Amino acid sequence: MNTMGSLPSDFAISLKAQPSSKTNANLPSLIERINIERGGFQTITEESLRQEIAEAELDNEDGDEDDTSDEEEEELDRMKELMTSREEMLGQIETAHQSAMFALDFVSLLLSKDTPVQASLSISPALRELVGMGTLGADKLHAPRITDAQKQDNKQIAKGWKSQSLNKTVDSILASASRLEKEIELETKYWQQVLAVSESGWSVCRLPNEKHTLGVRFGFSEASPAFKNRSLAALRRNPDGSISLDQGIVSSEPQILRVRIQSGNKQTGSSAVPQPAAENAPVEALILQARNTIFAEELWQELNREARSLGSYGVQSKDDTLVCPLSATKTAVFDLVPLGEASLTGPDDSMAEGVFISLNLLLSYAHRQNHRRRTQPPPPISSQKKIIQPYNLLRFLLTRLKHQETIGQLNHLLGSLCRVIELAQVKPLPSFKVTFTPWTPPSHISQAERTMLSLIDRLEGIATFSITETTTITITARTTIFPIGSTFALSLSPGSPLMSICPPHPVLTSYPALRDYIHYFTACTIATSISSVGGSGIDDINDGGQAVWHQTPHPTTLRTLLAPSVTGSKLPRTKQLSLSIQPLSTEPKTGVRMRAHWEWNGPEQPEHGSIGRRASFEATPLQKEDIQMALELEKEKKEKEEAEGEEGEKMRRVKGKGEGVYDWVMWETEDGKGWDEGEGEVFRSLESVVTDAGK
Amino acid sequence: MQELFLSSTVANEDLQRALRILQGYCGMKPVTFLRRRLIWEGPRARTGLKGVDQGIYKRQPLLREPHLWKGLHEQLVRQSYIITLLYDVDRDQFGQSEKMEVQDDEDSAKDEPAINFDQLPGSLRWTDLPDPAGGRPVSSRLIVNIENERGLCTILHTMNHRLNQEMIQESHRFVLGNVVFDFSRYLQLPPSETEPVSSIRIHLPAYDSLVPFDSENKWVLTASVLVFNGSNPDHIQKGIDELMTVKTDFEGCFDFQALERLVFDTRVKI
């Protein structure tokens, strides 16, 4: 039924010939026919089939009788059927004709190449115009020589290739899966380390050049631009997943600033130089090392820059080092050394370490100043150029050392003066006090800056020296940074008689000037205190007994008038007593000497013929005793001088009747002892000397 | 002195994020401050303006910057302006009166002295109408800023200025190079029962009772550059370049604009 493809499948009439009973009743076609007729096997049973057969036989007998009544109707139907069938047949014939003509054209075209004359007879003109003669060719080919066996072979080969490719695919997928797994492992490890770095406080960011790589910022945000540019290092992943720090082209070996202290030409101390981090150290240690290196490099650069302006304080640049005198005896030598460099140790190590730490702190403080400066609202844009001053690193250090030196000097000065006066048994005993109070900066600055400021700014020490009850001098020592130096402001207690005698200069700018003034001032004070003991006018002539000394226009000199009866001459004579205090220095000791010197004043000389000053020994009975003692002491002194480290107090007596010199001497040794135990018990007080002088 | 500036707005919810962005851009933490802005209105006259009373030079010989007062005088003689006085305050100065009410009334009321503004150091700020937008992509105006001066209220009284109103300004400030970034919000004081209007308040109400001036509670972000000499084209160009860099850097984040000049009009309307 469905063999005529152009007919719709529900076309009930079949144009095929009625199948004879002899046709091949193969089962599939039978089943198909039954399905179409009866719509399946479900409704069919044996019984119903037998019934149908029986009915069909009856119908055949009956059917022949009904034929004639239906003929007319059937004829009409058959006419219609015939007409439609005829039409269809004509169509089919037409189609067949067309197909045949196409076939003819095709064959003619094919033949037109080889036998154009014959082909042109049978080809249709339309095709000839459309395509042209001889445009189709045919060749006879040999039959493929591929035998069956070969075909089988090929099939096998194809199968083999397919399976091989599949295997390869599987393998490659497995390989990439395992590689991916490994990558993930490595990446996880890398990211864990990056997270560890970030959590320990380092700032991790993207590199501006390679946007896909992370880097760590280890520099300082307030450093100068040259160092800021180098403060980024890439965190790269090693093949084994660990992290490595890549500082790029400018990476340098780790370095640190080294401070060495020299006394004379010998090295006596050095700051510590740590060992470099090992190759396999954790990356945080490497980052820390990089940060310390960049800090040290910046410190070195800033020190050198500052040193150019500190030449007047003895700072010099020699070879690769900076030389900076710290005090009279010690010099600091700075240089930048790689980590791990060996260095000698010595007694001044702590000083070197202290200098190192303070320079580091000062650089951080300078960074803090930078931050403060740039976060304040800027001045308006104008033609004023901004000059960037070098940082003050060495300057603050030297200022602080200068201040300490000044305090020490004040202590020394006043201390030795007090000791000398004590030796001379001047009553009341003088006293002194030196205080240094650090400045307290205002509280709106941070604690760190306040600490720094109190160490480097407003360095002031106050010394008070009380010689008598009425005379107290106050010295305010101020150490300034620009320029480095100490100035001394002096003020006297208002009730002192010395206000009119030798008022202090309000400001002194050098220590020697201060020392000289203080010595002079002390001498004046003592002289004044002697002179105030006793009487008033110059007419008060001394008649034996206690001499009365009067002041002269020269504050350290006193004068007394002696009656003729004492001196043995006809007229009253004047005698002068002058006090002076001088510093002494012989290598390596320093000391201070107070000298009382008395002599006759005026052209008259005593009749006993004093040869004059410093002539032979001529002694009054009282003096003889002293001279003996002096001679003994001088012997002792010579013995002692041969031995080492003598200390002590010496007395010297000089000749001339009624004239003389008496010294009280105080040596400062390293351990601060004034005089030795076995020596110098015999000395005289100022009073007794003065009394003597008055005779 | 010339001020070149650009403005933008930031919503209150976005403030913290904006502060963090600027913190990273400028590399510093913001400086936060609260200020009282006392707004004084000049005399309502077109002619016969006296400007700055010349007697101040005698009364206050310790004026820190007399040349600025001269500049101000020149401006005030030709036109009457609104002048702002700025006084810094602490957060804990707000709500003092309420705290005092909680405590014993009698003693504390006697002890607490009235805030005498003349004794406090304050700043005087005068700004002119911005220049018409002629080729410059930024707003530009003359400004006189007299800082850290005392006795400003008295001076303004003698110049016939009257206190108009008071506002509280809350600001966060950043600095980068020559550019100052300022986040500001203006808050109004609620009307007070105890103190008369148009006088300087002695007690500041609690901080929470302050009402934002802007109904949407927005913050104004201003980027400004000061130029000392407004007639020097090189300096002005340098300032403009810096502001333009800021504008392009923040494109997509903050929209910096040179607003319409009349927004900043400080002339007294007669």
How crowded is the C-beta side of A213, counted as CA atoms within 13 Å? Answer: 17
State whether residue B10 is helix, strand or coil.
Answer: strand
pLDDT along chain A (695 residues), means of 10: 54 62 72 82 83 85 62 82 94 95 89 83 84 84 82 93 96 96 91 89 86 87 85 86 79 86 89 86 88 92 91 89 90 90 86 93 92 89 84 91 90 86 79 87 87 88 85 86 87 79 82 88 82 50 59 78 65 76 75 79 46 29 42 53 37 52 71 43 67 72
CA distance B39 to B265: 14
The DSSP code for A2 is T
Provide the pLDDT for residue B173. Answer: 94
Task: Tell me the nearest-neighbour CA distance from A231 into chain B, angstroms.
Answer: 15
Task: Encode A226-265: b = buried (16+ Cβ within 10 Å), e = exposed.
Answer: ebbebbbbbbebeeebebebebeeeeeebbbbbbbbbeee
Residue of B nearest to A220 (CA): B27
* Angle formed by the axes of helices A283-307 and A148-199, nearest 10°: 50
Residue of A nearest to B229 (CA): A382
Which of A598, A514, A513 is closest to A557 using CA atoms?
A598
CA distance B17 to A69: 105
State whether residue A10 is helix, strand or coil.
Answer: coil
Residue A261 is which amino acid?
Answer: I
Provide the pLDDT for residue B224. Answer: 92
- Enumerate chain B positions whose Cβ falls within 8 A of a Cβ in A: 1, 27-28, 31, 173, 175, 177-178, 180, 225-229, 232, 235, 238-239
Per-position DSSP letters for A419-451, written without gaps between them: HHHHHTT-SSPPEEEEEE------TTS-HHHHH
Task: Tell me the nearest-neighbour CA distance from B234 into chain A, angstroms.
Answer: 10
**Looking up tokens 């115009």, which residue turns up?**
A129
Q: What share of chain A is helix, strand, coil (3-state, %, to 5)?
A: 45, 20, 35
The DSSP code for B58 is H
- Give the Cβ contact number of residue B18 at 10 Å: 19
Out of A374, A375, A381, closest to residue B227 by CB:
A381
Work out the mean pLDDT of chain B and round it to a whole number: 83
Residue A403 is which amino acid?
Answer: H
Provide the pLDDT for residue A14. Answer: 60
Provide the pLDDT for residue A8. Answer: 59
Residue A359 is which amino acid?
Answer: L
Task: Give the tokens for residue A63.
Answer: 């059917």
State whether residue A299 is helix, strand or coil.
Answer: helix
Q: Give the phi and the psi of residue A80 in degrees, each rounded to 5.
A: -60, -45
Beta strand pairing status for A507-508 and A485-492? antiparallel
Out of B31, B173, B226, closest to residue A381 by CB:
B226
Sign of the Cα torsion A368, A374, A379, A383 reads positive
CA A224 to chain centre: 12
Out of B1, B180, B232, closest to residue A377 by CB:
B180
Out of A371, A376, A381, closest to residue B228 by CB:
A381
Cα dist from A380 to A613, B84, B172, whole Å: 78, 21, 20
Out of B27, B177, B232, closest to residue A221 by CB:
B27
Residue A148 is which amino acid?
Answer: D
- Which alpha helices (DSSP H) does A331-489 contain, by range? 349-375, 394-423, 447-456
Neighbouring residues of A90: CB distance < 8 A, sequence distance ≥ 6: none
Out of B27, B175, B226, closest to residue A380 by CB:
B226
Which of A611, A604, A613, A619 is closest to A564 using CA atoms?
A604
Which of A559, A399, A565 is closest to A482 using CA atoms?
A399
State if pTM tops 0.80. no
Q: Name A244's bridge partners.
A: A236
CA B119 to chain centre: 19
Provide the pLDDT for residue A612. Answer: 31
Rg (CA), chain B: 20
Out of A375, A376, A381, closest to residue B239 by CB:
A381
Spell out the SS3 assignment of A547-599.
CCCEECCCCCEEEEEECHHHHCCCCCEEEEEEEEEEEEEECCEEEEEEEEEEE
Provide the pLDDT for residue A568. Answer: 62
CB contacts, 8 Å: A221 with chain B: 27
CB contacts, 8 Å: A383 with chain B: 228-229, 232, 235
Out of B1, B27, B177, closest to residue A380 by CB:
B1
Task: Tell me the nearest-neighbour CA distance from B175 into chain A, angstroms.
Answer: 5
Answer whether A383 sits within 8 Å of B177, measured CB to CB.
Answer: no
Neighbouring residues of A505: CB distance < 8 A, sequence distance ≥ 6: A490, A517
CA A414 to chain centre: 45
Task: Tell me the nearest-neighbour CA distance from B162 into chain A, angstroms.
Answer: 30
Q: Give the phi and the psi of residue A237 in degrees, each rounded to 5.
A: -95, 130
Answer whether B178 sits within 8 Å of A371, measured CB to CB.
Answer: no
CB contacts, 8 Å: A377 with chain B: 173, 175, 180
CB contacts, 8 Å: B232 with chain A: 383
Task: Give the tokens for residue A688.
Answer: 């007794």
Task: Encode A71-91: b = buried (16+ Cβ within 10 Å), e = exposed.
Answer: eeeeeeeeeeeeeeeeeeeee
Residue of B nearest to A384 (CA): B228
Answer whether A382 sits within 8 Å of B180, measured CB to CB.
Answer: no
CB contacts, 8 Å: A371 with chain B: 28
Answer whether B225 sits within 8 Å of A381, measured CB to CB.
Answer: yes
* Torsion angle in degrees (nearest 10) through CA of B122, B124, B130, B136: -60
B185-228 pLDDT, tens digit each: 998 888 776 666 666 777 777 788 888 888 888 899 999 999 98
Q: What share of chain B is helix, strand, coil (3-state, %, to 5)?
A: 30, 30, 40
Task: Tell me the nearest-neighbour CA distance from B227 into chain A, angstroms.
Answer: 4
pLDDT over 90 (residue B245): yes
Answer whether B31 sits within 8 Å of A380, measured CB to CB.
Answer: no
CA distance A274 to A337: 11
CATH numbers and ranges of domains, chain B = 2-264 (2.40.320.10)
Q: Are A552 and A558 in contact (CB under 8 A)?
A: yes
CB contacts, 8 Å: A379 with chain B: 226, 228
Task: Tell me the nearest-neighbour CA distance from A344 into chain B, angstroms.
Answer: 43
Out of A221, A378, A381, closest to residue B175 by CB:
A378
Task: Give the tokens for residue A605.
Answer: 């000389």
Task: Tell me the nearest-neighbour CA distance from A351 into chain B, angstroms.
Answer: 37
Interface mutation target, options B172, B235, B242, chain A, most CBs of A under 10 Å: B235
B141-159 pLDDT, tens digit each: 999 988 888 888 888 888 8
Out of B31, B175, B238, closest to residue A374 by CB:
B175
Instruction: ipTM value, please give it.
Output: 0.84
Answer whether A376 sits within 8 Å of B175, measured CB to CB.
Answer: yes
Task: Give the tokens for residue A650.
Answer: 């010496």
* Angle formed by the axes of helices A283-307 and A394-423, nearest 10°: 70
Provide the pLDDT for residue A650. Answer: 39
- Enumerate chain A positions whose Cβ falls within 8 A of a Cβ in B: 221, 371, 374-383
Q: Name B168's bridge partners.
A: B36, B187
Answer whether A382 sits within 8 Å of B31, measured CB to CB.
Answer: no
Task: Tell me the nearest-neighbour CA distance from A222 into chain B, angstroms.
Answer: 10
Interface mutation target, options A203, A228, A381, A386, chain B, most CBs of B under 10 Å: A381
CB contacts, 8 Å: B88 with chain A: none
Residue A408 is which amino acid?
Answer: G
Task: Tell me the nearest-neighbour CA distance from A379 into chain B, angstroms.
Answer: 7
Higher pLDDT, B106 or A590: A590
- Give, rounded to a whole angstrom, the gap between the first and last alpha carbons of chain B: 27
Task: Tell me the nearest-neighbour CA distance from B185 into chain A, angstroms.
Answer: 19
Task: Give the tokens for residue B211.
Answer: 């009402």
